[in-house]
Amino acid sequence: MITFGVDARVPVARVLLLSVTVLVLHVMLFSRFSLFAVRPEPFLLLAIIGALQLGPSGGALLGCTSGLAADLLSSSPLGLWMLVCGIIGLGLGALQGQLNQERQGTTTMVAVASCTVLGLLLYPTLAFAIAEKSFPPPLRFLTILVFACLWNLLLAPGFAATTRRLLRAKRVAR
């Protein structure tokens, strides 16, 4: 178990189970959907939602495990998605305490949209720096950003409800 905060614990097994579940869902379901040849980014979405619910260490852990699952499916260097999702999870998790808790739905949607764009900007930048892969053409890249954001915004409520139930922290008696 990993301790998050003063009195909350989340088992690592649940984080791994969630990442494997998203991997299976992506292979069997999400990879079949595309809009203008853009598919959902469920691994990045899992890192974002996890960071909002678990804070910096939990967000980084969930981001790294979901990123590793994405790396297993991609043709890019192993660890690139893990790095991107881990950075997003850690960064957003560190900001979690400063976000407006009264408007949780709006905060979640803004975080999903902005972190999806950030992740999709960071990924090709790192791919260029590490593996010398070229950037997509500007119009294609803009299409990817817009439609990946739309996909993630559509999937966010379901992901948030599922992760909230599965990753609900257990209170530790003192």
Confidence of residue 98 (pLDDT cuts 50, 70, 90): confident
Q: In what order do the strands lie in the sheet containing 170-171?
A: 2-4, 8-10, 170-171
Q: Which of 63, 81, 28, 48 is nearest to 155 (CA)?
A: 48
Q: What is the mean pLDDT of residues 166-173?
A: 62
Q: Tell whether the model's pLDDT for residue 103 goes beyond 70.
A: yes
Q: Which of 85-89, 109-113, 163-167 has the lowest mean pLDDT?
A: 163-167
